[in-house]
Amino acid sequence: MRCPICTQDHDKVVDSRTAQDGNIVRRRRKCLACGHKFTTYEAVERDPFYVIKKDQRRELYQRDKLLGGILTACKKRPVPMKSIELLVHTIEMDIRSGFQGEVPSWKIGELVINGLKQLDDVAYVRFASVYRQFKDAEEFIAELRKLKAEQHSKTRHPKRELSQKAKKSSKKEILPLFSDS
């Protein structure tokens, strides 16, 4: 690895540890030429996948585009950046585990909606209004009523919901955090 100060490629690894739940290796290095210490990160390079748009065009998946849409929905909301990053990571893992190199754009949208619904109601409605192309206030009101009914149902039957989750989690396969089931 080239030193960022003297550009020599003679260094030694002083410390190495995993970061981000074992997905990244963080290494502290020391340049043998000038003595400067610097940090490098190593991660698995993922195979790219394509998003199939409504008009059947295929576009290379762009993480920044997904993150930008979620950030816009969460703007000025009390949603921690760590939760947003986790949502993006979870969506990517769902896509990689459920699709072979291509995913329809509507599926990504549904994964985002399901994730935002669990994070923040306002961010969820903001995203849903753009994604589902609400035409008027009545569509907002209908979505809010639906959301409120779902929340009311969950608070009335928490034991039933927990027992259903327990049955699902007893399966040997790992279920994604934000599934649309």
Domain boundaries, given as residue ranges, for the chain = 11-43, 50-133
pLDDT tier for residue 133 given thresholds of 50, 70 and 90 = confident
156 pLDDT band (50/70/90 cuts)?
A: low
User: 99-128: per-residue pLDDT in tens?
Assistant: 888 999 999 999 999 999 999 989 999 998
Rounded to a whole number, what is the distance in angstroms from the first to the last CA of the chain? Answer: 46
**According to the model, what pLDDT value does residue 162 have?**
44
Angle subtended by helix axes 121-131 and 63-73, to nearest 10? 120
Q: What is the pLDDT of residue 48?
A: 84
CA torsion sign, 33 to 37 to 38 to 44?
A: positive
Residue 163's pLDDT band (cuts 50, 70, 90): very low
Phi, psi (degrees; rounded to nearest 5) at 57: -65, 150
Q: Quick check: 12 pLDDT over 50?
A: yes
pLDDT in tens, 49-97: 899 999 999 999 999 999 999 999 999 999 999 999 999 999 998 998 8
User: 51: how many CB neighbours lie within 10 A of its CB?
Assistant: 19
Q: What is the 3-state secondary structure (H, E, C) of the chain?
A: CCCCCCCCCCEEEEEEEEECCCCEEEEEEEECCCCCEEEEEEECCCCCCEEECCCCCEEECCHHHHHHHHHHHCCCCCCCHHHHHHHHHHHHHHHHHHCCCEEEHHHHHHHHHHHHHHHCHHHHHHHHHHHCCCCCHHHHHHHHHHHHHHHHHHHHCHHHHHHHHHHHHCCCCCCCCCCCC
Residue 28's nearest CA partner among 15, 11, 41, 43 is 15
Query: Residue 36 and residue 8: Cα distance in Å, rounded?
Result: 11
pTM of this prediction exceeds 0.95? no
pLDDT in tens, 20-60: 777 789 999 999 999 999 999 998 877 788 999 999 999 99
